[in-house]
Structure 1
């Protein structure tokens, strides 16, 4: 017996897409899901993160084992709406595809998790243990929601974690971390004809960039699954006009880390290079604006094997097992878990469709994932 008809399942996704949770406003998504759960006898708790942002936690069953299922409630901006062929906040079906901002990344995954859990509750089919639903805020920028759940102990007793990011054709069991830096170099303004009266803020910043490129980006360390660390200086600002010595220059970096060269070591390197240049007369400040560690698991768990078999059952093709260069909320949720922890990222939609104009999820994929999740959840709570 199913708690929802196909059309009701589509309506839930339609309602979620209509909520403009663009890097904010997750409260409305959380309130909607809380009401949905409570209509089916499932207690749900809104967990404040900031004055305007929240997580949502709901749970069925009791005791161990505890299966964690997670998805984020925020979406990225639709950008130039005139480039969309449909209204990005109105779920629109065309040729078997459901279009809308977040339809792919990742409100279809979030809805599929919730519906599968409600079905299990309605049918009283959970034989033992618990399923903990964790909807997060701010995943697209910084991961504050998942960090809050980790800090408040919601992952302490979790034995298995499924993150429903769009990845219908692959199962991700490890992924790189992500670090953002803002590096500020302070100088002293002067006329460019009299540079000795000032201090050019660009010069030490350029030297800093050269140092980190040589010693961090060009490292030969690698991971068997994730490959090498990736680092890019992506934004540079400096100076006001061409005939003035600049008193301020900034550079921003994004680093995709691996366990062999993870976030703490990279942060220490950045600070070390700044200190070396400061000892030579520079005034460089390193600010870490985001820090998400890499996630490495060995991929040998029954979770991975079962998800692969179910992927083949529902989609007639066994999903490939991969490590990903992107990050998920797993970076925060799994901070204290070991390499043998059962973790996957597996959900409706395609990774390549994330953040794009005319984002969509296939209708049949969304609906099949609800059934797939129900089987998968119950397999680990027998």
Structure 2
């Protein structure tokens, strides 16, 4: 690994715009890059001009797989960026650019680390992570053979302030629910004869917020009202209102049991909000292959004890976890993900790459 090569690759990736659903250009670049690096490369079409990349290098019975996503969130609040979001800019030890931390820096790290390795390794690069994980879902459903000999997945997602000595061995899930509140409209002067749908919604919200810290199996699961709608017509009491509930659910809770809990709070209709891909369930792996080797590498390069934690966010990691293959999130230090002035710390990116490289050498 060379620092200049790592930074040059990161700069190239940041310079290729890939806000979903526009991942084709970066996909083509990485397709050629992996082939030149000696990988056998397959693509999986997801939709027009969108494809996953599945790459393999070496042979063996047990593969380690690195994961990354090709897309970034859309550029927003461009006027608040202090640098060009599509040109990697170094300032005070930080590398600024859209996707630098989430997660083009991480992709560059494992591409550099695997360039000269003799270890049996695979790479999975997916589209649509910042949307509904359509790429990851189609891969696990239609390309399951690719993952059959993978014993450990390493996601290079950023560590979100937890430090280079941290590994996320679990994540929360996320699901959305819709509730329709039906009232009985009357002229406002006769409100005592009416049933106010907005009042029903407000009462439900009050109950939800008063119980949300104790109503789930896990104390880390949490719910909130994400969206509310309701309006009276003319001078009438409101006859219909709607609410959307968002739940971050720990691995001890499921979409099914959360639905039952929400239904216990109201007599109104509650249903899971439809979407194209399944909702993401939480997961947690208490142990994972090569744990001793990874602990040793982290201690050597950071001088700190390893920290295992559950990450309170969702992503393609949740989808890959449905394969029942242990997955760890092992990424660099950075900041401002999903907002202006996103950055990854230069030294952290270099150290992460060295740790990946030494880990692969150790196995």
Aligned to 2:173: 177
Aligned to 1:313: 300
CA change 1:108–1:201 in 2 (3 A) is: same
CA change 1:199–1:48 in 2 (3 A) is: farther
Q: Extract unaligned runs of 5+ from structure 1.
A: 279-283
Q: Extract unaligned runs of 5+ from structure 2.
A: none
- Give yes or no for the alignment of 1:345 onto 2:329: yes
CA change 1:271–1:149 in 2 (3 A) is: farther
Q: Could you tell me the TM-score, scaled by structure 2's length?
A: 0.86
Aligned to 2:129: 139
CA change 1:55–1:249 in 2 (3 A) is: farther
Contact 1:104–1:359 under 8 Å retained in 2: yes
2: CA distance between counterparts of 1:301 and 1:231? 30
- Give yes or no for the alignment of 1:237 onto 2:220: no
- Give per-residue Cα distances to partners, 1:6-27, cap 9 Å, x unaligned: 3332222112112222232122
1: CA distance between counterparts of 2:204 and 2:248? 19
Contact 2:152–2:289 under 8 Å retained in 1: no
Contact 1:270–1:286 under 8 Å retained in 2: no
- Give per-residue Cα distances to partners, 1:236-293, cap 9 Å, x unaligned: 222166734445433222211122222232134446667x435xxxxx6541446111
TM-superposed CA distance for 1:309, in Å, is 2.3
1: CA distance between counterparts of 2:193 and 2:200? 17
1: CA distance between counterparts of 2:220 and 2:234? 39
2: CA distance between counterparts of 1:114 and 1:45? 16
Aligned to 1:25: 22
Contact 1:67–1:158 under 8 Å retained in 2: yes
CA change 1:243–1:377 in 2 (3 A) is: farther
TM-superposed CA distance for 1:93, in Å, is 1.0
2: CA distance between counterparts of 1:175 and 1:94? 32
TM-superposed CA distance for 1:200, in Å, is 4.4
2: CA distance between counterparts of 1:65 and 1:334? 17
What value does the CA root-mean-square deviation take over the aligned residues?
A: 2.8
- Give yes or no for the alignment of 1:256 onto 2:248: yes
Contact 1:149–1:333 under 8 Å retained in 2: no
Secondary structure at 1:104 match in 2: helix
1: CA distance between counterparts of 2:285 and 2:211? 27
- Give yes or no for the alignment of 1:277 onto 2:277: no
- Give yes or no for the alignment of 1:67 onto 2:57: no
- Give per-residue Cα distances to partners, 1:80-137, cap 9 Å, x unaligned: 11111101111111122110111111110112122222221xxxx22xxx31201112
- Give yes or no for the alignment of 1:292 onto 2:275: no
1: CA distance between counterparts of 2:182 and 2:149? 47
Aligned to 2:337: 354
2: CA distance between counterparts of 1:66 and 1:263? 32
Aligned to 1:281: none
1: CA distance between counterparts of 2:292 and 2:95? 29
Contact 1:314–1:368 under 8 Å retained in 2: yes
- Give yes or no for the alignment of 1:118 onto 2:110: no
1: CA distance between counterparts of 2:237 and 2:297? 63
Contact 2:137–2:319 under 8 Å retained in 1: yes
Give aligned pairs, total.
Answer: 355
Contact 1:113–1:373 under 8 Å retained in 2: yes
Aligned to 1:160: 152
